Amino acid sequence: MSNKLNYSMSLAKPDAKDFSLKQKVAIGIGIIGLFILVLALFNADINHSGWVLTTALGLIVLGTIWFSNSVYLSESKGIKNDGVWFKSISSRGLIGWATGIVLTLFYIVLYFYPHLLGLGKDGAPNTGLVALFDPLSQLLSGRPASQWFVYGALYTMAILVFGYKFFLKYRHNRYEQIRTGSVMFFQLAFAFLIPEFMYVMNSDLPYYDLKSIWPLNYYLFDSWSIKGFLSAGTIGLILLIFGVVSIFIITPILTYKYGKRWYCSWVCGCGGLAETAGDPFRHLSSKKLSSWKLERWLIHAVLVFSVVMTMATIYSFLGNNPDSYWLTKSLFIKLSIGFLSLIFLLFMLFKRKEFGKDAKNASIGYAVVISLVLIMHFTGTTDQIFFIKSSSLRSAYGLYIGSIFSGVIGTGFYPIFGSRVWCRFGCPMAAILGLQQRLLSKFRITTNGGQCISCGNCSTYCEMGIDVRAYAQKGENIVRSSCVGCGICSAVCPRGVLKLENDGLKGRINPTEILLGNDVNLMDLVNQNN
């Protein structure tokens, strides 16, 4: 009903289920916790001894858990999407917009004005919100907190508590539960705790989240990072090698076996937040064909940018003299071009068919990278590439892609564009995994014969904006580079039409209309005519 549209802009919900008293109290408790954080942020004169922080976080956790229990445990197990498009928060209503604006402001402050959060400048003691987190940081690694520590702690907490909520919401679905357990674990252990402990072990090591892989982790090959690893002795070298191995060996193997989901919806922190805190917003992604076109253009442009930027960064700190270090600028260029060409040729030789119409775009992408690299080599100097300072290229990437795109737009705009804006339009890691998933993976979403009733639940709830129904109603498997394998389309389908599976490569992409129901001869004919 079109008049539903207006409901979402009003604070009162005329027809959707309202919150019960218990739920309101739970929300209230969570808000008190948040309010303490806000008080700290504005430097209210509060005690920074640790118990205030404990209380604040405790109240938030308690509120969310109580709220989730009350919403889900009292109801039968099953799909819980009643009223999603009526609630202001989840249908771009007033509360949705307000949340989006607050989140966006938070990200802007975090990235660009950390002193507003209370980060002490030049070794001065922290104040405000950052100081509030000092005790926790001291406890874990014996150093004062930074804005990143605060962010990491809040981020981890969000994944844990909303993960719990998600767990209850999908308690009929073991795939969703185990997957959520996995993202909660990886966030807590790999992104939050282990880096702190590694610091305790060896304070020379740069912050390293083991599961954050280049090119998502675009600073892995920065000179400070490389120097940090190398100066940290054997352990540093091992970690650096692990970083290279993860992108070139571990990633392709796992993606071949399970699709990109092993990373995007089981391990990755960005994905983790999207799947837990972002879950109430997944249906807000755009399903338009035009968005898909924009997506493919943008994400591959970011990929090209990140590859060239990384090569430029490495290039700029290499020397020319083979006697001082074996890897010289020109050898590096040769190796890189050789490697990229090899991959490109292999794909073109063996995967030409799967590429389909995209072969042309892939060739353009390849040509662009190679020419940029060559231009760089022949016009660049030690500190100038593309006629600009090499470090400015790297900072431009960090600023526009690393901060604004992934943080401010990617997360701040959850309640407006849905939870996977960054993953869909910007993440270079997703682009690489996506290419593999489409061309060289056993993963697909199988369609169950002719059972689809074109209802559209799958498309609506696909956070990546994939028009799943367009495939399902034709009886076609879904093999899309952007699918993160969250499994929600399969969960919400009321007719049991979709199943995420890993199976042989043969018959994985089946673009003919093999709709079951009509007798087979007809289908032969339909396929012949195609």
Partner 1 sequence: MEHIVIIGNGISGVTAARHIRKLSDKKITLISAETDHFFSRTALMYVYMGHMKFEHTKPYEDWFWKKNRIELKNGYVETVETESKTLHFTDGDTLTYDKLIIATGSKSNKFGWPGQDLNGVQGLYSKQDLDALEVFAPNKNICKRAVIVGGGLIGIELTEMLNSRDIPVTFLVRESSFWNGVLPEGDSAMINRQIKNHHIDLRLSTNLKEIVSDGNGKANAVIIEETGEKIPCDFVGLTAGVSPNIDFLKGTSIETAKGVLVNRYLETNIKDVYAIGDCAEQREAIGNRRPVEAVWYTGRMMGEVIAQTICGHKMKYNPGHWFNSAKFFDIEYQTYGWVFTKPKEGHLHFHWKHVDDTKCITIEYNASTNEFLGINTFGIRMRHEVFDRWLTEKQTIDYVILHLGKANFDPELYHHFEGDIQRAFKNQLQNLQL
- Phi, psi angles (nearest 5°) of residue 144: -65, 160
Q: C-beta of 89: minimal distance to ligand SF4 in Å? A: 21
Q: Alpha carbon of 412 to those of 152, 248, 281, 295: distances in Å?
A: 16, 32, 12, 19
Q: Tell me which of 496, 505, 511, 527 binds partner 1, using CB under 8 A.
A: 496
Among partner 1, ligand SF4, none, residue 85 binds (CB under 5-8 Å by kind): partner 1
CA 247 to chain centre: 16
Kindly identify the residues of this chain, within the stretch 463-482, that bind ligand SF4 according to CB under 6 A.
463-464, 466, 468-469, 472-473, 478
Q: What mask of x and - would describe binding to partner 1 in positions 279 to 318, judged by CB under 8 A?
A: ---------xx-----------------------------
Cis geometry, peptide bond prior to residue 114 (ω within 30 degrees of 0): no
Q: C-beta of 269: minimal distance to ligand SF4 in Å? A: 17
Q: C-beta of 63: minimal distance to partner 1 in Å? A: 24
Q: Which residue has the tokens 């705790």?
A: 193
Confirm if 171 and 72 have CB atoms less than 8 A apart. yes
User: Given the complex with ligand SF4, which of 273 and 483 has the nearer CB atom?
Assistant: 483
Determine, following the binding rule CB under 6 A, whether residue 498 of this chain makes contact with ligand SF4.
yes
List, in order, residues 6 or more apart from 38 with CB less than 8 Å away.
none
SS3 per-residue string spanning 389-451: EHHHHHHHHHHHHHHHHHHHHCCCCHHHHCCCHHHHHHCHHHHHHHHHHHHCCCEEEEECCCC
User: Given the complex with partner 1, which of 305 and 417 has the nearer CB atom?
Assistant: 417
Q: Tell me which of 145, 452, 479, 514 binds ligand SF4, using CB under 6 A.
A: 452
Which burial class, exposed, middle or buried, applies to 30 when counting CB atoms under 10 A from its CB (0-12, 13-18, 19+)?
buried
Confirm if 474 and 513 have CB atoms less than 8 A apart. yes
Determine, following the binding rule CB under 6 A, whether residue 483 of this chain makes contact with ligand SF4.
yes
Among ligand SF4, partner 1, none, residue 342 binds (CB under 5-8 Å by kind): none
Determine, following the binding rule CB under 8 A, whether residue 183 of this chain makes contact with partner 1.
no
Confirm if 273 and 155 have CB atoms less than 8 A apart. yes
Within a 13 Å sphere around the CA of 330, how many CA atoms are in the beta-carbon half?
A: 5
Confirm if 446 and 485 have CB atoms less than 8 A apart. no
Q: Tell me which of 89, 337, 362, 455 binds partner 1, using CB under 8 A.
A: 455
Q: Alpha carbon of 261 to those of 86, 150, 158, 433: distances in Å?
A: 31, 28, 21, 9
Measured CA to CA, the distance from residue 107 to residue 101 in angstroms comes to 10
Determine, following the binding rule CB under 8 A, whether residue 524 of this chain makes contact with partner 1.
no
Q: Tell me which of 26, 59, 70, 85 binds partner 1, using CB under 8 A.
A: 85
Q: What mask of x and - would describe binding to partner 1 in positions 393 to 432, judged by CB under 8 A?
A: ----------------------------------------
Q: Tell me which of 80, 116, 456, 523 binds ligand SF4, using CB under 6 A.
A: 456
Q: In what helix (H) or strand (E) does residue 249 lie, and over which residues does it extend?
A: none
Binding site for ligand SF4 (CB under 6 A): 452-458, 462-464, 466, 468-469, 472-473, 478, 483-489, 493, 495, 497-498
Binding site for partner 1 (CB under 8 A): 1-5, 14-17, 76-79, 81-87, 172-175, 178, 288-289, 446, 448-451, 453-457, 459-460, 469-470, 473, 487, 490-492, 494-496, 499-501, 515-522, 525-526, 529-530
